[in-house]
Amino acid sequence: MKTAGPGLSRGTTTFGIGGRIRDARRAKGLTQKALAEACRVPSSTIGAVEVGNSGPTAVLLRDLCDVLDVSADVLLGRRPA
């Protein structure tokens, strides 16, 4: 059984970079598939990052920031959205 940790979410509470990516994706009205296509990665990569099974590479983080129109500081939790 997984407990709330980096990247996992429970209810409306967001944990970690994965949850912040998910929230930014939803705010833009994008599906995981659409975000993955825009970032040129498999949709399974976006899913894995959102649930905390892996972290984004530096290149993926850059692309996520561009597509989601947010700063890396926001996705990394250094600044509020």
**Counting beta carbons within 10 angstroms of the beta carbon of residue 20, is it exposed (0 to 12), middle (13 to 18) or buried (19 or more)?**
buried
State residue 81's pLDDT score.
Answer: 82
Q: pLDDT tens for residues 24-40?
A: 999 999 999 999 999 99
Q: Tokens 């059984």 correspond to what residue?
A: 1
> What is the distance between the alpha carbons of residues 65 and 81, in angstroms, rounded to a whole number?
12
2: pLDDT strictly greater than 60:
no
49: pLDDT strictly greater than 50:
yes
Looking only at the bridges linking them, the beta strands covering 9-10 and 13-14 are antiparallel
Res. 15 pLDDT band, cuts 50 70 90: confident
Domain map (residue ranges) of the chain: 12-75
Out of 3.40.50.620, 2.40.100.20, 3.40.225.10, 1.10.260.40, select the CATH number for domain 12-75.
1.10.260.40
- At residue 14, the 3 state secondary structure works out as strand
> What is the distance between the alpha carbons of residues 38 and 79, in angstroms, rounded to a whole number?
24
